[in-house]
Structure 1
Amino acid sequence: MRIKGDNIKENRKLIAGRLYKIWANRTIQFEEEETADIVNINFSIAENQYGIYGNEYKPPFIEDNGGKKADILAFVIDEGKEKFSSWVLDVKKAVGGEDIIYHLIEQLTESMKHKKSITTYLDDFVEEQHVGYITRDLQRDRIQETICKKSTYLSKEQENLECMPTLIKTQAQRKLLKEQVKLGLLCDFQNNCMKMGNDIIPLESYISQEKDGKFVYELNVASS
């Protein structure tokens, strides 16, 4: 067994930041603290497979202060067939505001690095990767409106640069460059992807449903 994890003890709350090993079919319930939104993570474990689960996981060698991490990290690993499936997901009440999106991308990016610290020991395995977010409200129109406003703003400011003195122009160009980066990130997100270094990572969105007064999503994790 290449990946180590704690055994789950029945009737005991799972501790954030730890990895747990799953040996058989079972459901682990994750509840987002601020919104009380629930994700039921349904592990389907076939013969000679095992699962790994962590919520808000980061490697122990990363400092706590300022460390970003996604809510859910999960694997189903088949060492005999040398393949595995992975999930890096965060839970948000609503996804549409630009600051929420920037923060979400930071969380997913950092958690992909955290995941890499584990999967480096599976680098000869074939991976089926899932990266994204679970939300009750995905506001595509709002995101598109922000993209249009930023594009218009940048076009006008680019025209204004021609009339500026050199020193002021240099400062303005730096500001515009930052806004262009943000615009690119929003455009990528609207197209269901994010950039991580030279890689383009597809993003998956899952919409939770109201059930008995709470928003719930059933996440099925398995490796075929």
Structure 2
Amino acid sequence: MERNVGKGHRLAVFASGNGSNFEAIAAACADGRLDARVVLLVCDRPGAYVCERAARLGVETFAFRPKDYVSKEAYEQDIVRMLDERGVELVCLAGYMRILSRVMLDAYGGRIVNIHPSLLPAFKGAHAIRDAFEYGVKVYGVTVHYVNDELDGGKIIAQRAFDYTGADVQELEAMVHAVEHPLYVEAIAGLLAGRNR
């Protein structure tokens, strides 16, 4: 894959794990679907695979251990400084498993978006796919939304639904990811172009 070469808007991606949405965003920057480039990956788990993806794609990474800081506010102050120094215009949460404090929300409020694997407001929280599966719903989906101080509660930007009547949660998770990647890129493109406000 080409490296993260976009020259337009400056994005930061926050992730905690595998990083498939991070790579989808970086790939869209590289191939021109996004007039942007990812200037920083923020990761709260230094050993996470997303850090390897970032290294391969030439994206600068700030990987930190929250326990090394006295508080969430302290490490978010460091993050905000790095975002400001790099001229970040939009923060994209992509499997970042931490609730943001007022430090981030006050500095970048209205410029932080998240992708969530359910049709919000249904099935908020960290286990949305499994929760929906165990509940027995037949229509699943993905939501891109603004981040505010309510868990998965910010204004909805885009949603996409699909039917699933099978009995394999791993198959369902793969279907969710197949929807997430293009939807997030499309939503980010709309935001950068001034749509989806």
- The TM-score with structure 2 as length reference comes to 0.33
Indicate the structure (1 or 2) with the bigger Cα radius of gyration. Answer: 1
Q: Which has the higher strand share?
A: 1
Greater share of helix residues, 1 or 2? 2
Using CA pairs below 8 Å that are at least 6 residues apart, which structure has the higher relative contact order?
Answer: 1
